[in-house]
Structure 1
Amino acid sequence: MLPEISIITPTWNGLPYIKECVESVITQSFQNWEMVISDDGSSDGTRDYLKTLNDSRIKVYFQESNLGIFENLNFIFSKTKSPLSQILCQDDYFVKKTSIETIINYWKRAPESISFVRFNFNNVVQCKLTKYLKEIAPKVLDSSKSSLFFYIFGNIPGNLSNVSLRSDIVKKFNYFQQSLPFAGDFDFWSRVSEKSNIGIEDEIITFVRRHPKVASITLNKKGELISQNNKIVSSLYSKLLDTNRNKKLLLKIIGTLNYDSLQRDTALRKWFYGYSEYLIELNLISTNTSFILPNYIRWFLFIVSLGGRVGRVLIAKIIFKIVTL
């Protein structure tokens, strides 16, 4: 009998958390699953632990050289056997014994138009803009609205462990792009959402762990994420501009607040402590980015918005009222 769902777990130096991750799958009330783990060259004992697993439903692969997280994800999806998948990163775990059952039940009632669903929406990181997102986000985000939502709110699915998906969409939408090693998920979800609807669910199914060695921190020390995010957002901006040429200024203001002012606040903090690379990278990228305002206006907006903390919700509300989708 084929498994009804695949649990997708890429690993790299996953101790001490990988054991808790695996055990949260094994103890689920719903048992017709497979767990596909691909270790990306761990050197901390993760491989030794994975070799002790003897559950036939757990398939473990060991990469001889480091692929990077998104190429590793692509590899895992090439090995899955079930039509549905749930990503569960090595640091994270299912919070309830019924988490997989919740996912399966969601897909039983989900329309074919939905390609992936973001769970854990009640746990969205709190700021004024994300509170506004929670106010207006529908249970099903139509593909016609996705460019605007992703442009204003960024990577809506957030952490990979929030996402369950139809397994075949990875191949159908040309895989996660390893050329974007820090923003491959943002790129993939935004591309998929332009062609199909996405689900947004409050139900908490996984615990997404934050710690000093989490990838989003360790992989963005010098602003490596800035240029990759800007490539994705530039594409979203161009699509919105096609039907909203007369809204160009508003789109640039929210783009500058979201992707320059907030980053500039981080960059200046790093610069204060002697790390100038982040600010240099931000200035270089922002100067050559279509959706960000010119230099002197960027600094003015940074100051009056208190580093992007003030004004974003107001501009977002105006845009949602007048932009043509």
Structure 2
Amino acid sequence: MPTVSVVIPTYNRAFVIGDAIRSVLEQTFQDFEIIVVDDGSTDNTAEVVKSFNDDRIRYIRLDKNRGAAAARNVGTRESKGEYIAFLDSDDLWLPTKLEKQLEVFKKSNPGVGVVYCDIFVLLRHRVYVVKRRDKGHIYSELLGGAISTPSLLIRREILKDVGGWDESFPAVQDRELELRISKKYGFEYVDSIEVVVRAFSKGVSYLNNPNRILGLNLFMKKYLKDLLANKQAMGKTYIEMAHSYCRIGKCNIGIKYMLKAVSLGYVKPTVGIMLLVAMFGSDIYNIIWSIYQTIHRLFFKVWGRKRIPKNIMEFLMRYERNKRLLGLSK
């Protein structure tokens, strides 16, 4: 039986899933299995996965597209490892991820159910690092935002205990699952960047996707009592909703959520700017958003690459598509 099961859900990501699989195969800790769950792809995903000559890789194809949560649940049910990790098919693990996380588990008390790590986000227009230092029972902290799914390593029995991923959520599934886990189990972290999150095209994680609005609505309905008791988390969620509505052409609704956030005391300069711009309508809002993105791209071309840690840059250069995101190749 493998120590770790790595579940990779994918949908029409043949052009990047090979990178994700390769990053797992190059782990310093090698006692794992890889379960690729193809969520009804129409491209050559199967061909790419089967091109790897490694008995630890299993490919499961679903008969129709059921969403990431369902695909992760299928992978979990098929897994055999003591620990389960999830890797999105766009993303990459640094070679020491599993080794470092398992070391933390060994040193932790039995009440710890999840170990996560820092992530490096690589977009077409900018890069940044996400660091969290929340540990223990962090329910209130998670109400305001999830820990990135590819950074998680979870004890298998805990996923079974909390019921796995909620398939009714088309987005925000990570925050919802982590909240259920945090009610009963502790979290720990690895103090280093071990994951690269990449973005090649729009998905449910993008704020202008209607599915994200649906997911946020379900999230607020399910956790309304706790959110109302945590004004910071509630305000932040309202702003997520506001931006999502403005991006899909419904600034009239977005403004209402911005005002709700302000009424809770969630007052920040960015919220004031968003509210001012939203009053001119969605067309102007999206133009200003595009300008903002353009400024980020220009900043990145001049200074951005210089801010990337040397060890992370060396890792990124091992993958051709990263060079394109960094503007180093066509």
Give me the TM-score of the superposition, normalised by structure 2.
0.70
Q: Secondary structure at the match of 1:34?
A: strand
Q: 1:257 aligns with which of 228, 231, 235?
A: 235
1:171 aligns with 2:151: no
Q: Tell me what 2:268 maps to.
A: 305
Name the CA distance, whole Å, in 1 between partners of 2:136 and 2:194.
Answer: 23
Q: 1:154 aligns with which of 121, 126, 145?
A: 145
| Structure-to-structure mapping, 1:268-287, within 5 angstroms | 268=246, 270=247, 275-277=248-250, 279-280=252-253, 283=256
Name the CA distance, whole Å, in 1 between partners of 2:66 and 2:86.
Answer: 18
Name the CA distance, whole Å, in 1 between partners of 2:45 and 2:8.
Answer: 13
Q: CA deviation at 1:255?
A: 4.5
Change (3 A) 1:66 1:278: farther
1:114 aligns with 2:112: yes
1:200 aligns with 2:189: yes
Q: CA deviation at 1:31?
A: 2.0
Q: CA deviation at 1:150?
A: 2.2
Q: 1:220 aligns with which of 209, 212, 225?
A: 209
Name the CA distance, whole Å, in 2 between partners of 1:147 and 1:164.
Answer: 18
Change (3 A) 1:185 1:279: farther
Q: CA deviation at 1:163?
A: 0.7
Unmatched segments (≥5 aa) in structure 1: 242-250, 287-291, 311-325
1:142 aligns with 2:131: no
Q: CA deviation at 1:204?
A: 1.8
Q: Secondary structure at the match of 1:175?
A: coil
Change (3 A) 1:309 1:202: farther
Q: Tell me what 1:314 maps to.
A: none
Q: Tell me what 2:103 maps to.
A: 105
Q: CA deviation at 1:232?
A: 4.5
Answer yes or no: is the 8 Å Cα contact 1:142–1:197 preserved in 2: yes
4+ residue segments displaced more than 6 Å: 122-125
Q: Tell me what 1:323 maps to.
A: none
Name the CA distance, whole Å, in 2 between partners of 1:216 and 1:280.
Answer: 20
Q: Tell me what 2:45 maps to.
A: 46
- Which residue identity does 1:78 align to in structure 2? R
- Which residue identity does 1:154 align to in structure 2? G
Name the CA distance, whole Å, in 1 between partners of 2:194 and 2:51.
Answer: 26
Q: Which has the higher strand share?
A: 2
Name the CA distance, whole Å, in 1 between partners of 2:53 and 2:100.
Answer: 26
Change (3 A) 1:5 1:308: same
Q: Tell me what 1:230 maps to.
A: 220
Identical counterparts, % of pairs:
21
Q: CA deviation at 1:104?
A: 2.5
Name the CA distance, whole Å, in 2 between partners of 1:218 and 1:83.
Answer: 34
Q: Tell me what 2:13 maps to.
A: 14
Name the CA distance, whole Å, in 1 between partners of 2:169 and 2:254.
Answer: 16
Q: Tell me what 2:328 maps to.
A: none
Answer yes or no: is the 8 Å Cα contact 1:83–1:167 preserved in 2: yes
RMSD: 3.3
Q: CA deviation at 1:115?
A: 0.7
Q: Secondary structure at the match of 2:171?
A: coil
Q: CA deviation at 1:219?
A: 7.4
Q: Tell me what 1:322 maps to.
A: none
Change (3 A) 1:186 1:232: farther
Change (3 A) 1:46 1:280: same
Answer yes or no: is the 8 Å Cα contact 1:95–1:206 preserved in 2: yes
Answer yes or no: is the 8 Å Cα contact 2:203–2:209 preserved in 1: no
> For 1:223-264, what per-residue CA distance to the aligned partner results, in whole angstroms no more than 9, with x for missing partners?
3343133234414236xx4xxxxxxxxx44x35531224543
Q: Secondary structure at the match of 1:203?
A: strand
Answer yes or no: is the 8 Å Cα contact 2:100–2:190 preserved in 1: no
Name the CA distance, whole Å, in 2 between partners of 1:61 and 1:209.
Answer: 24
Give me the TM-score of the superposition, normalised by structure 1.
0.71
- Which residue identity does 1:306 align to in structure 2? P
Answer yes or no: is the 8 Å Cα contact 1:88–1:161 preserved in 2: yes
- Which residue identity does 1:207 align to in structure 2? V
Answer yes or no: is the 8 Å Cα contact 1:5–1:82 preserved in 2: yes
